[in-house]
Amino acid sequence: MDKYNAVIDMGSNSVRLVIYYEAEDGTMYEVDNMKSTIRLSSFLDSNNNITEEGIERTLHALIQFRQLCDGRRISHVTGVATAAVRKAVNRDILLQRIVETTGFRFRVLSGEEEAYYGYLAVVNTMRVHDCITLDIGGGSTEVVKISGRKLVKSHSFPFGAVTLTDQFFQSEVPTEEEIERLEQFLRTAFASKPWLREKKYSLVGMGGTARNLGKIHQKRTRYPFASVHYYEMRKYEVASVFDSMKNLTPVQMQAVEGLSKERADIIVAGMLIIKVLLEFSRSERFIVSNKGLRDGVYIESRLRKVGKPVIEDVVGYGVRDLMNQYKVNKSHAYHVEELCRDMFEQLRRENLHPHGENEKELLAAAALLHDIGRMISFRDAHQHTFYLLVHVLLPGLTHKQRLLTALLASYKGTKKMQQLVAPYESMVTEADLQMVEQLGLLLLMARALDRTESRQISRISFVRSGDSLILKCCGEDKLPLEMKTIEEHRKKFKKHYGIPLHIQWIYQS
């Protein structure tokens, strides 16, 4: 039975509700997201009690969340609380008042649990094998060492963007001395965990600071891709953004494109955490993850049902979710993917293209998703397919891989491809576009061979005949429609592969 579930993450800076739709077939995707910035860590008094004002602000936000959950008819709500509540002496009073007022029950996470859920979010939405993850909250910062996709080390530091700002910056614009003191504090803290620099791993950042850093850089460089998940920055680019932000006044901060106005007063401290850890760990790359703690909490509940700690094939899992979400004809899609794979391998053995396993994987994803645009409209479905694959998250693929998959899935010919890729031309090379034309043609041919979507072509093979290539197609009966549609691509085949193609039909009795 289809249902809606929700996760509420009560952090030190903000409290956020995320609602997920889960279909009976296992499809899952996010359908709503609501945030309230309450700065709960700022309402801890000298005795580490949350003040009455802090409790009232929290209740006000959660009452609104209750209204949204009731309107959506949420089946189950999972509530987790992090550093500020973890630190509060009177947390039991806060949690009891939340239950009495809203019915929401919260589990207070340890620092180790918080790190673990961030780890789950990263390894199940990115194809990373070895890296350091960094999750910057308002009152704590979690770091995890991942090796071979496994969590091997983790630690929760008792400081975050809000608490460091309050502790080290006395004025609206921090002085050089204040920044230097905070840098030294962070270097000392990270040095207590020498495993952070044992190998030169990439650094994957979660949380609002990481997302805002990525968005600011995207705006400044006029980056054409809309997604921030899997956005990569070099170490010097992180330093450049930080240097340009550290001396801005609050009014100037409000004008920075890509920066959330609610985060402007704590962004310098947050960015400094990233900058210092990049330097300490000797990492050269910073990768933004748009998935974090609350996603990890939800992913754990899904994986528990199938008895797995992590998703083995992140890309395949994401492809299957999109196929379900956009009502793809699976029998047709899997047959087209099989035909594409056969043609790819046979042409590679004939030395007719230089493409390897990476391109083969993109072609497979494109073959399975080439029809998702039909969910919007049959007319110009290829354009809708391209738009969806560029704008809807496909876990495990980088931005460039998502773009190339979108171009392959929507391929109709050179002219239409050039029109679609024009806004993104800075992301691709001529070799990339040549690959799209060669493999995109294979997808067109595979679709033609199942034009009736009835899987009547059971087997195909390429055979050399002098200076030509013969595509032998084995079917159960005479297939006039498939015969007609595949013939339309012979001329393009010679153009893109440099050899004439003939079609031979073999009928099985």
Alpha helices in 410-458 (DSSP H): 414-421, 430-448
Compute the average pLDDT of residues 126-145. 96
pLDDT digits (tens, 9 = 90+) for 334-389: 999 999 999 999 999 999 999 999 999 999 999 999 999 999 998 899 999 999 99
The whole-angstrom separation of Cα 136 and Cα 138 is: 7
How much is the pLDDT for 303? 86
Kindly give the residue spans of alpha helices, DSSP state H, lying in 73-175.
83-87, 91-102, 111-123, 161-168
> DSSP string covering 178-245, please?
HHHHHHHHHHHHHHT-GGGGSS--EEEEESHHHHHHHHHHHHHHT------TTEEEEHHHHHHHHHHH
Q: What is the mean pLDDT of residues 245-259?
A: 94
Pairing of strands 14-22, 3-10: antiparallel
Q: Please, what are the domains in the chain?
A: 3-108 (3.30.420.40), 112-292 (3.30.420.150), 315-454 (1.10.3210.10)
* Single pTM value for the model: 0.93
Report pLDDT for 145. Answer: 98
Question: Residue 224: exposed, middle, or buried by beta-carbon count in 10 A (0-12, 13-18, 19+)?
Answer: middle
Distance (Å) of CA 18 to CA 21, 78, 79, 331, 369: 10, 10, 11, 33, 26
Query: Does position 507 have pLDDT exceeding 90, yes or no?
Result: no
